[in-house]
Amino acid sequence: MSKKHYIALALILLGGLLVRLYKIGSPIADWHSWRQADTASVSRTYVEKGINLLYPQYQDVSSIQTGIQNPNGYRFVEFPVYNAAHAALVKLMPVFSLEVWGRLLSIFCSLASLVVIFLLGRRFISPLGGLLAAFFFAFIPYNIYFSRTILPEPTATMFGLLAILFFVGFIDSGKNSKLYLSGLFFSLALLVKPFTVFYAFPMVYLALQKYSLKDLVKNSKLAISILIFADIVLVPLLAWRAWMSNYPVGIPFFSWAFNGDGIRFRPAFWRWLFAERLGRLILGIWGVLPFSLGVLKVVKKNLFIQFFLLGMLAYVSVIATANVRHDYYQIFIIPAVSLALASGATYLIKTKEFSRLLSITVLGASILLMLGMGAYQVKEYYKINHPEIIEAGKAVDEIAPKDALVVAPYNGDTAFLYQTGRWGWPAIDTSIENIIERGGDYYVSVNQGDADTQAIIKKYKTIVKTDKYLIVDLHKKI
């Protein structure tokens, strides 16, 4: 690879960093703030109480997410690698806020993924293909937004891609050290997000392309190496899942994510995932051209990209309801999409079947329109539509003791509770009297006309009231 390729990669990395710094200091009140608040809340608890990987906790003590009262705020969702690193950065270098550090950590993981995608693109397409794959991963507007959110998905994606990269290294070199490193990163990916198991599709393809089942039977050293790899991947995951099972109070409902509403393969499934999300939101309509060519184009008689895409198709099909309901679930498919786009773009640049000038012009126009259409949609994600929850949260923070428990109803969304900096309830999951018995101290609302608020202000003293919010002391009856 020439020096100019490395310079181009450095420029893509710099550009990818700069676009991800947009509104990096925004409060957690933008798109999918509820999920970001849950993640940031675990990190905040680590900062305040110390890092304990076995007992992740967050501010929600209600029964909303598990159906069981959760007074200790246990949060057993992903293994808290991201949260531990997040809290460590805040404690070691308190030059930025917790929110800024969370976004910077996600950005770092995203840029690391970008480098891996470049290396995979170079290996399976060409040096130009690697640069194009990195470019698409860096500048697809959907990915720009979600790779700077306070979510564990960018971390899991990075680990998953590193697992694939080192597995490719094992296939190319036969070195067990690379196989075991692949297993380590794959284990971390599964611990953070078990959904990354679908990243195994291209790895299985590469293994079957090089080795047959006979090889595993006859070659005892290879068989032992594969078994060690499997142990490295699975033992930590199984151990964590066994540990989690001791704390059902901290395990949110999850069975709905697979096909809870029966949407899998129904017309709405295809419309939302392939027309709205992939076609419009991610590819901006015009990106469908290079993407389709990338799917159809077999590079160097190798189907690595196609099997990666097949894994992503299996992912959205198995985790159907969650993928349809929440667009951040598609974070995992962006690496495969970027590689397919790069393969199709490389074909249009190098093809001799059409006028080269015309094909490059069409490609350039498609890319510009794709990025423009995507940016037009994603710009709404950065907006804070309800700034009153931030204002009300600051007011509570000034009034309430640090150990106060707060009721901050926001349709079960924890973003409002997070703004208060206190533990408590993001909705009234029982009677207000029961909540007071469990330690509820304050009630804060930004919806003064709802029935719960009207009933509460008739029984308890309102200590702060503005045209945007009110705060009630639950220990002072009228």
Q: Which of 128, 148, 151 has its CA nearest to residue 77?
A: 151
β-pair partners for 60: 424
Nearest C-alpha neighbor of 65 from the set 299, 313, 249, 284: 249
Q: Each residue's pLDDT tens digit in the chain (478 positions)?
A: 678 999 999 999 999 999 999 999 999 999 989 899 999 999 999 999 999 999 999 999 999 999 999 999 999 999 999 999 999 999 999 999 999 999 999 999 999 999 999 999 999 999 999 999 999 999 999 999 999 999 999 999 999 999 999 999 999 999 999 999 999 999 999 999 999 999 999 999 999 999 887 777 788 899 999 999 999 999 999 999 999 999 999 999 989 999 999 999 999 999 999 999 999 999 999 999 999 999 998 877 899 999 999 999 999 999 999 999 999 999 999 999 999 999 999 999 998 888 889 999 999 999 999 999 999 999 999 999 999 999 999 999 999 999 999 999 998 889 999 999 999 999 999 999 999 999 999 999 999 889 999 999 999 999 999 999 999 999 999 8
pTM beyond cutoff 0.85: yes
Residues 6+ apart with CB under 8 A from 306: 295, 298
For residue 234 the two structure tokens come to 């699975």
Helices (H), 199-303: 200-210, 213-218, 220-244, 256-259, 267-270, 288-296
Query: DSSP string of 198-226?
Result: GGHHHHHHHHHHH--HHHHHH-HHHHHHH
